[in-house]
Structure 1
Amino acid sequence: MTSEKMSGERTGRSLASSFERYLQDKGKGRGGDGGNYRRNAARELERFAEWATGDRGDDDWTGIVPDDADREPTFEDLDERVFREYARHLAGDRGLKQNTVQTYYRYISAWCGWCVNEGYLETHYAQRASAMAPLPEDDGRKPGDQQAWTSEQRHALTRYIDELAHEDIEAYTTLPEDTDPLDKQRARYAALKAARDRALVFVLAYTAVRVGELLRDPNDPRRRGVRWNEISLDDGSMDVYRKKQQWDAASLPDPVIMPLRSYRKLMDPPTERWPVFPTFDQRTLAGLIQDELANRGKRPEEITDFREAYARDLLLALDEDIRPPSITTDGARSILQRLSEAAEIDIDHPKHDYLAPHGGRRGMGEVLVRAFGYTVAARYLDNSEEMVRERYSHIEAGELGDVAADALTQIDNL
């Protein structure tokens, strides 16, 4: 979308006109009218709107609308200076704790990002460094307050995607022999996508591998996503490029093996250098295939005929060994966001209304520390024991609290 068209579409639109649609997208249940995140976001958006009109703030604050204009705030009035002022307004509220200021600002920042995606804004102004500069540093919020998938959430997500993959794979593998070729391709594509998503979810849920070690990072060419030749299902291991800038083997526990094995059989990659988690983005694949077939000497009309013989470009890429890129870390977040919503998983977190990738790693960290202690957990998480103790200090604090309670009980019984 051109900047001129976007500017024209947002001219005169009030900020409040976007709120209900945003809240529906973020809400739960039929019509998107439920969920804790929606309720909290609605409250903060209302406060932001009041501040923007001049109803909140210092006595001399008149809002973001020019003094010579008699109207409600619109998207034309927004820029990074507005969000900087709002960050300063939140930070100046002496009744708010530092991490509460951060939380309130994140609700507004998330809305701003949504507005960019929906075409209301050209730029995510709220994430500009100058806009966020007045925000206070986190006030020592414990790592235990960060999102970590609970056992119930992990089981709900893996159970949902497992059932979905079973259904799609069975639908494909049980098709009658006389099924139309394009219909069969569509069924295979649906099965591949569900199998890929299942494998990804299980890896994130049980391996504690960082999502940046598993998938492609557009800003780091060394992180191009794990490939099949870097996975050994027989040994239960996977080579990944670690955060410490070196290759290392990560463990693949038993729950991960079956989803990966089933997915590999279904995909049947033409070479071992294919990404384990390729993108299914149609625009990316279309451009890749057209360029590659042109490089192979195919004329435009031949390329068109090639593509029309396939229901999806991914299937053509598999047959012709046109290797696609891995999905990105942002792509994984989108998948988890979609699956968390579809599975109707109960999530109560100030920053994420879905099960974020890092939450899978933190959730496994919780399990490992509680079951085997900090030393074993540190080895599995590829962290120092000191760092693991710091990040999961809330567990030790709770255990020490139990020890103190037992000691008091014993003394009372003397």
Structure 2
Amino acid sequence: MTATVTAAIDEYLDSVESGNSAAVARSALREWANWLAAKRDVTALDDVAVIDCRRYARHLKRRTRDDDLKASTANTYYAYVRAFLGFCEADELIERNPAAVSRAQSQLPEDPGDADRQFWSEHDRNAILRFMDRRVERALDGETDVSRERAYRDRALVRLLALSGVRGAEVFRDPADDRRDGVTWEDVDVDGGAIRVFGKSREYEYAQLPQRAAEALERYRTVAEPPTPEFPVFPTDHAPSKYSAAREQLGEQGYDDHRVEQILDANPIDEVVQEYEVVVPAISTRGARGLMERLCDQAGLDIDGEYLKPHGARRGLGHQLYSEGHAELAQSALRHASISTTHESYSNIRASETAERVDDVLDE
């Protein structure tokens, strides 16, 4: 009987020593198995081909471009798959390891390290936050063509990124990952200062929600009046997606196709969403990056020819906390599993501090 991918993974994991590495491997391999089934329609182990591994490598590369993964992490995830399939080859479950073939591995992202990866400096963070406040004031005074709701939404989005340490893929929709559909209002706990996100660990976690971010979210919620707690905090602006969601959910509510079209023809889509409690999709990670690019352009912010990217906010927050001597706070804010991860992420700061101390000693 042909072994399934998931059964073989379980057997492989039983052979791996327990610990944090095994836990990460388990998460990565199960995510890969789900991707194989959903995107490649492959569930049997001996059906896994070189082209599937090549496509998976390309999928990982795409996630690095979307700032969902570091290049180093993408290569690590692929290495787990390669090691697993190597185990299967050694156990004679498959004839060869398709992940070890060069044309599959050639699609992996290059790992240049973190030296050139963007982070929001304190100056740039404050500049974009001030701009968002002014934008809300101008919308309230009718001095811009941006609606009041949009201005409040965008300010809440920027404050959440800038101050909470969340990853973009944790709060926005990732079209390549069915489980990442964006945070909803029921995930937001303003009083508790926390927001529930689907973390990098592929488990739900609570990220810290500082007062300024919580305040922006609460004011935005008051203006937006989401029709249901399941509504995304940052809904898409894509009209076809709204109409598609409305047609599907109105049908589920018992309206026939003719009546659905009557409703949609007679009312603006946003009114239909509100009145019939339609849950539209969240803005995508790509859409959020496009929004940040437009906002930086409007604010006159240019960061070495780039805009403030969503994941750079997380790095910037950690950088400031760590550089000011709050390593444990940085670990907590960024939800690193161990302080060693935090130290590794900001090793450049430690090296700089060490250099200064060495200089002091040598100059004595």
- Give yes or no for TM over 0.5: yes
Offset of residue 398 of structure 1: 1.2
Offset of residue 213 of structure 1: 1.2
Aligned positions of 1:169-188 closer than 5 A: 169-171=140-142
Cα separation, 2, equivalents of 1:373 and 1:257 = 22
Q: Do 1:236 and 1:253's aligned partners in 2 also have CA atoms closer than 8 Å?
A: yes
Match of 2:82 in 1: none
Match of 1:240 in 2: 197
The one-letter code sitting in structure 2 at the alignment partner of 1:274 is F
TM-score (norm 2): 0.65
**Alignment RMSD (CA, Å):** 2.7
Cα separation, 2, equivalents of 1:307 and 1:262 = 29
Aligned positions of 1:3-402 closer than 5 A: 133=106, 137-138=110-111, 141=113, 143-171=114-142, 190-296=147-253, 298=255, 302-303=259-260, 306-307=263-264, 309-311=266-268, 313-348=269-304, 353-383=306-336, 384-402=338-356
Offset of residue 324 of structure 1: 0.5
Cα separation, 2, equivalents of 1:305 and 1:168 = 33
Q: Do 1:144 and 1:392's aligned partners in 2 also have CA atoms closer than 8 Å?
A: no
Structure 2 gaps, min length 5: 1-101
SS at match of 1:240: strand
Cα separation, 1, equivalents of 2:357 and 2:190 = 42
Number of aligned positions between the proteins: 261
The one-letter code sitting in structure 1 at the alignment partner of 2:160 is V
TM-score (norm 1): 0.58
Match of 1:75 in 2: none
Structure 1 gaps, min length 5: 1-128, 173-186
Cα separation, 1, equivalents of 2:185 and 2:270 = 17
1:403 lines up with 2:360 in the alignment: no
Cα separation, 2, equivalents of 1:134 and 1:234 = 46
- Return closer, same or farther for 1:132/1:304 CA change in 2, 3 Å cut-off: same
Match of 2:74 in 1: none
The one-letter code sitting in structure 2 at the alignment partner of 1:201 is V
How big is each residue's C-alpha offset from its partner over 1:222-281, in whole Å with a ceiling of 9 and x where there is no partner? 222111111111111111111112222111012202210110001112221111111121
Offset of residue 307 of structure 1: 3.6
The one-letter code sitting in structure 2 at the alignment partner of 1:154 is R
Cα separation, 2, equivalents of 1:155 and 1:136 = 32
- Return closer, same or farther for 1:198/1:131 CA change in 2, 3 Å cut-off: farther
Identity %: 33
Offset of residue 372 of structure 1: 3.6
- Return closer, same or farther for 1:230/1:348 CA change in 2, 3 Å cut-off: same
Q: Do 2:184 and 2:230's aligned partners in 1 also have CA atoms closer than 8 Å?
A: yes
Cα separation, 1, equivalents of 2:359 and 2:345 = 24
Offset of residue 345 of structure 1: 0.2
Cα separation, 1, equivalents of 2:180 and 2:201 = 13
How big is each residue's C-alpha offset from its partner over 1:75-127, in whole Å with a ceiling of 9 and x where there is no partner? xxxxxxxxxxxxxxxxxxxxxxxxxxxxxxxxxxxxxxxxxxxxxxxxxxxxx
Cα separation, 2, equivalents of 1:332 and 1:269 = 20
Cα separation, 1, equivalents of 2:299 and 2:111 = 32
SS at match of 1:248: strand
Offset of residue 132 of structure 1: 9.8
* Larger Rg belongs to: 1
Cα separation, 1, equivalents of 2:267 and 2:133 = 27
Q: Do 2:250 and 2:276's aligned partners in 1 also have CA atoms closer than 8 Å?
A: no
Cα separation, 2, equivalents of 1:386 and 1:359 = 21
Q: Do 1:148 and 1:362's aligned partners in 2 also have CA atoms closer than 8 Å?
A: yes
- Return closer, same or farther for 1:222/1:304 CA change in 2, 3 Å cut-off: closer
The one-letter code sitting in structure 2 at the alignment partner of 1:231 is V
Q: Do 1:280 and 1:314's aligned partners in 2 also have CA atoms closer than 8 Å?
A: no
Cα separation, 2, equivalents of 1:134 and 1:294 = 42
Q: Do 1:227 and 1:276's aligned partners in 2 also have CA atoms closer than 8 Å?
A: yes
The one-letter code sitting in structure 2 at the alignment partner of 1:283 is P
- Return closer, same or farther for 1:296/1:229 CA change in 2, 3 Å cut-off: closer
- Return closer, same or farther for 1:234/1:403 CA change in 2, 3 Å cut-off: same
